[in-house]
């Protein structure tokens, strides 16, 4: 089929015209014209008439041809008037929108606009009126049942021979499937993007991890190098040790021999120990006997002493008139000595008792103990001038009764031996040194010669005569015995006529 | 023994006993005193037994000195 010229009441818009240009090509072919001429001549008509007849025939064919293309297009091809009334509706339109041509033609185009898109058709018409072309405009339309779907619209004006717009042609293509693919692609892209980010993060981590591994590798290499050196050293040492082992084998042999000797010796020692334990038990037994002996001796000694003192007194009191002064003096001397012996026995008893007494330790407030004793002793001294300086005594963990005895003896001594001074200064204090508390008492009394300091704490040992200062020589021995029982020490410093300082220590209170 | 004993002294040491009696006498307290050597004798006296069988046990001493 050949088309000579387009001869229709309709002229085509530009893209349509472009298409026509392709089809026009054969018209310009000289061979084509020759062929047409031959056909015309075969009809027997004169050429101008024949051409006109052919032209009319071809126009009709061409129009049918175009209509067929339109009618069977997969796309919906719709034409409408400028007010939006649908004028034509092809098969594609029926299939796509569900309305038959009969149902659609004559209705307004808003028939296929979903809710919210009603004004869109008006906008499209406005654009067409402004001679604009709308190509591949993607939007939503709805089917007969209300189902909405994506379409791509290409809208172009329909013009008459004079170029006036008389209507609108609209081609709608269902792009639902493409849209689905697009959505899937967008989603896939998003996922990929996310994955990329993750991978970048991971890559950054791996970079850090790699750097760490490189560092560790270097460390290990260094360590390996060190180990090589250490191994060499060990190998050398092993050799040394082998030598040493050989020496040790010899030494062991010697030791085995010595061990055997020692075992023999140990067996002998076991026997010796058994003997010692037995003698230890015997010593304890003897000690117990001694304690009991000294107690009963002291107790039994008191009876005759009482008689001596009592009978002397009876003689003195009942026969006073018959006694000459010298006899009275002798009687007094007997009584004084008997009394003195009684005192000695009392002190000895106390000393013996302390040895047997169990210590009951507790927290002692030394300051108040010492203050009380000082007050009591001072009260017994009448008007004597005695000045005490008691400086913040530290508390102790010790046996209350015996520690009181210690302070009583030491303070009594300080008062007694400072008796010849116009005013007695007695200073009592304490300090912590290492793990013990050192208590001291200082006086300004008679003092003593340091050469005899070791005799001070012995039983019945005295550095002064009875005429100078009375006493039995048991007081300081008792002090030492009590302190030793507490695990402490006693010592003294002094100078004749310059006073003395007595010290004793006690362990610091356990926390 | 018809002595009406008001004060009973139980003491095994004769010196101590004598000194005690001396001191009591000096203070006019030893008029009706009986000195016994030990606790067994004291019990015999108090309950009218042994050496003191037949003694009127109702007559109890006012004071007993046990040393």
CA distance B18 to chain A (A): 9
| Helices marked H in B1-67 | 14-26, 39-47
Does residue A18 sit in helix, strand or coil? Answer: helix
Closest of A124, A121, A99, A115 to residue A148, by C-alpha? A115
Residues with Cβ within 8 Å of A13's Cβ and at least 6 positions away in sequence, in order, are A133, A156, A157, A158, A159, A169
Interface size between A and B, measured as CB pairs under 8 A: 20
Token representation of residue A340: 């003195």
Mutation site, B15, B21, B26, interface A, largest A CB count within 10 A: B15
Query: What ipTM goes with this model?
Result: 0.74
Binary contact (B19, A310; C-beta < 8 A): yes
Condensed to tens digits (0 to 9), the pLDDT of residues A119-141 reads: 887 888 888 888 888 888 888 89
- pLDDT for residue A52: 66
List the domain boundaries for chain B. 7-66
Strand B7-10 vs strand B33-36: parallel, antiparallel, or unpaired?
parallel
From the list A306, A314, A317, the residue facing B16 with the nearest CB is A306
pTM of the model: 0.44
Condensed to tens digits (0 to 9), the pLDDT of residues A2-19 reads: 444 333 333 334 444 444
Nearest CA in chain A to B25: A318
Residues of B in contact with A306 (CB under 8 A): 15-16, 19
Residues of chain A with a CB closer than 8 angstroms to some CB in chain B: 303-304, 306-307, 310-311, 314, 317-318
Other beta carbons within 10 angstroms of residue A502's beta carbon come to 24
Condensed to tens digits (0 to 9), the pLDDT of residues A405-420 reads: 999 999 999 999 998 8
Condensed to tens digits (0 to 9), the pLDDT of residues B27-54 reads: 888 778 899 998 889 999 999 998 989 8
Residues of A in contact with B25 (CB under 8 A): none
Angle (CA) A162-A166-A170 rounded to 5° is: 125
Q: Are A5 and A20 in contact (CB under 8 A)?
A: no
Tokens 């309950």 -> residue:
B47
From the list B13, B16, B22, the residue facing A314 with the nearest CB is B22
B16 interfaces chain A, CB cutoff of 8 Å: yes
How many residues would you count in chain B? 67
CA distance A307 to chain B (A): 6
């Amino acid at each position: 089929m050949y088309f000579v010229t387009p001869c229709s009441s309709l002229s085509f818009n530009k893209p349509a015209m472009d298409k026509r240009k392709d089809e026009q090509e054969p018209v310009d072919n000289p061979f084509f014209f020759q062929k047409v001429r031959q056909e015309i001549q075969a009809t027997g008509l004169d050429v101008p008439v024949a051409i006109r007849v052919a032209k009319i025939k071809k126009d009709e064919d061409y129009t049918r041809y175009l209509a067929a293309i339109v009618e069977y297009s997969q796309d919906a091809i719709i034409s409408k008037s400028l007010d939006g009334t649908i004028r034509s509706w092809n098969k594609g339109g029926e299939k796509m929108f569900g309305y038959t041509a009969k149902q659609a033609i004559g209705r307004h185009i808003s028939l296929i606009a979903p809710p919210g898109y009603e004004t869109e058709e008006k906008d499209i018409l406005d654009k067409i009126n402004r001679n604009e072309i709308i190509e591949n405009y993607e939007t939503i339309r709805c089917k007969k049942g209300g189902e909405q779907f994506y379409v791509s619209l290409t809208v172009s004006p329909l013009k008459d021979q004079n170029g006036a717009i008389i209507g609108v042609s609209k081609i709608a293509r269902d792009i639902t499937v493409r849209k689905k693919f697009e959505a899937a692609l967008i989603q896939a892209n998003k996922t990929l993007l996310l994955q990329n980010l993750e991978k970048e993060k991971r890559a950054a981590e791996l970079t850090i991890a790699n750097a760490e591994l490189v560092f560790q590798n270097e460390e290990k290499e260094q360590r390996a190098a060190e180990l090589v050196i250490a191994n060499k050293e060990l190998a050398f040492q092993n050799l040394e040790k082998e030598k040493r082992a050989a020496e040790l084998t010899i030494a062991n042999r010697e030791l085995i021999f010595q061990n055997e000797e020692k075992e023999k010796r140990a067996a002998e020692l076991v026997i010796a120990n058994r003997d010692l334990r037995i003698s230890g038990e015997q010593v304890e037994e003897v000690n117990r006997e001694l304690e009991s002996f000294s107690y009963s001796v002291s107790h039994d000694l008191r009876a005759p002493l009482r008689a001596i003192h009592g009978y002397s007194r009876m003689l003195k009191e009942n026969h006073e008139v018959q006694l000459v002064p010298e006899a009275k003096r002798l009687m007094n001397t007997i009584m004084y000595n008997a009394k003195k012996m009684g005192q000695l026995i009392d002190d000895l008893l106390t000393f013996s008792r302390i040895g047997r007494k169990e210590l009951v330790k507790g927290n002692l407030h030394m300051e108040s103990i010492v203050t009380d004793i000082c007050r009591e002793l001072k009260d017994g001294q009448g008007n004597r001038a005695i000045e005490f300086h008691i400086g913040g005594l530290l508390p102790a963990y010790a046996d209350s009764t015996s520690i009181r005895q210690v302070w009583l003896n030491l303070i009594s001594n300080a008062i007694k031996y400072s008796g010849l001074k116009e005013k007695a200064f007695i200073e009592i204090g304490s300090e912590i040194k290492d793990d013990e508390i050192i208590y001291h008492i200082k006086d300004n009394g008679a003092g003593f010669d340091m050469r005899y300091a070791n005799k001070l704490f012995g039983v019945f040992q005295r550095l002064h005569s009875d005429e100078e200062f009375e006493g039995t020589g048991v007081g300081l021995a008792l002090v030492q015995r009590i302190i030793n029982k507490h695990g402490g020490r006693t010592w003294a410093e002094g100078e004749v006529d310059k006073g003395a300082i007595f010290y004793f220590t006690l362990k610091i209170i356990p926390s | 023994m018809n002595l009406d004993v008001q004060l009973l002294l139980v003491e095994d040491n004769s010196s101590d006993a004598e000194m005690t009696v001396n001191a009591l006498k000096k203070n006019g307290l030893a008029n009706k005193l009986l000195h016994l050597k030990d606790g067994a004798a004291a019990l015999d006296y108090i309950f009218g037994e042994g050496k003191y069988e037949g003694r009127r046990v109702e007559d109890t001493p006012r004071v007993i000195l046990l040393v």
